[in-house]
């Protein structure tokens, strides 16, 4: 479970594997090119990110900047989007020099192994409802058909990648971190690397400009091992762009 500290810590530079090919506005990581470009879909997502479609009634915290200015929108039925920064989560089975590194992730691969932050592109959501209310005034994934390894498109500048729900941000029951479950904007080393974002757990990340679009429901849960989850997630990017593009009426 993630308990990131945003203070800069001097650490050895990470040596990352070569980035997996990511899909840009006009190139796909799946077998067939999508009918809708990443730029078109992202524009449609932002157009539908309106007050009328906002899910939370209390603003979330940008994990990087600590500003309470992040909201979640249901842009089409069962599809949820938010824009924030990206703080780098190093947790899981891959070793990492980050002093905040933990050996476990909230969710595991299909073989029950802890996810590896250097191999699996995953995003992070709050562990519980900070407000201890139902429905939650903040966006709480369990109320919206979202489970472990739930697929999402993650956009940054001209790139979009597939990612899975892999870890959770500190819950109410944890007192070891200044962070809490109201935060949004954390993703794994692999996700940052694929997006071209500095991927060190101590000095990496970006303050703003990352949009995460989560596809709820069992049909969008990604199966696989630490060795295959990345390729399996990227293989869904074209399908997700086409699905969302059609639902947005682009």
Q: Per-residue pLDDT for 211 more than 50? A: yes
pLDDT at site 11: 36
Q: Which of 7-21, 170-184, 233-247 comes out lowest in average pLDDT?
A: 7-21
For 58-91, the pLDDT digits (tens) are 999 999 999 999 999 999 999 999 999 999 999 9
Q: What is the mean pLDDT of residues 152-179?
A: 84
Does residue 23 carry a pLDDT above 70? no
The band of 157, judged by pLDDT with boundaries at 50, 70 and 90, is very high
19 pLDDT band, cuts 50/70/90, is very low
pLDDT band with cut points at 50, 70 and 90 for residue 219: very high
* Reported confidence tier of residue 22, pLDDT bands at 50, 70, 90: very low
Place of tokens 């201890």: 132
Whole-number Cα distances in Å, 198 to 88, 195, 201: 9, 9, 9
Cα dihedral sign for 87, 88, 90, 91?
Answer: positive
Specify the pTM: 0.86
With a cut of 70, say whether residue 143 has pLDDT above it: yes
Distance CA 47, CA 35 (A): 19
Model pLDDT for residues 100-131, shown as the tens digit of each residue: 899 999 999 999 999 999 999 999 999 999 88
- What pLDDT does residue 144 have? 97
Confidence of residue 170 (pLDDT cuts 50, 70, 90): confident
Query: pLDDT confidence of 1, banded at 50, 70, 90?
Result: low
Residue 31: its pLDDT value, please? 54
Q: So what's the pLDDT on residue 173?
A: 59
Q: Give the pLDDT confidence score for residue 33 in this predicted structure.
A: 82
């Amino acid at each position: 479970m993630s308990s990131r500290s945003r203070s800069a810590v001097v650490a050895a530079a990470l040596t990352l594997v070569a980035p997996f090919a990511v899909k840009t506005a006009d190139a796909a990581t799946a077998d067939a090119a999508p009918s809708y470009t990443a730029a078109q879909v992202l524009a449609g997502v932002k157009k539908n990110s309106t007050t009328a479609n906002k899910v939370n009634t209390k603003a979330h915290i940008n994990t990087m900047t600590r500003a309470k200015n992040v909201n979640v929108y249901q842009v089409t039925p069962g599809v949820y989007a938010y824009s924030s920064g990206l703080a780098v989560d190093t947790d899981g089975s891959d070793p990492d020099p980050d002093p905040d590194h933990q050996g476990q992730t909230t969710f595991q691969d299909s073989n029950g192994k802890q996810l590896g932050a250097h191999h699996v592109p995953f995003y992070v959501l709050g562990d519980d409802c900070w407000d201890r209310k139902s429905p939650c005034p903040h966006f709480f994934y369990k109320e919206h058909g979202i489970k472990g390894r739930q697929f999402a498109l993650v956009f940054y500048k001209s790139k979009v990648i597939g990612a899975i729900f892999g870890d959770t941000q500190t819950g109410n029951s944890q007192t070891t971190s200044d962070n809490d479950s109201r935060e949004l904007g954390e993703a794994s080393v692999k996700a940052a690397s694929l997006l071209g974002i500095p991927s060190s757990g101590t000095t990496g990340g970006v303050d703003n400009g990352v949009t995460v679009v989560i596809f709820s429901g069992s049909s969008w849960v990604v199966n696989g091992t630490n060795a295959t989850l990345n390729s399996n997630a990227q293989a869904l990017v074209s399908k997700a762009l086409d699905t969302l593009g059609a639902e947005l009426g682009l």
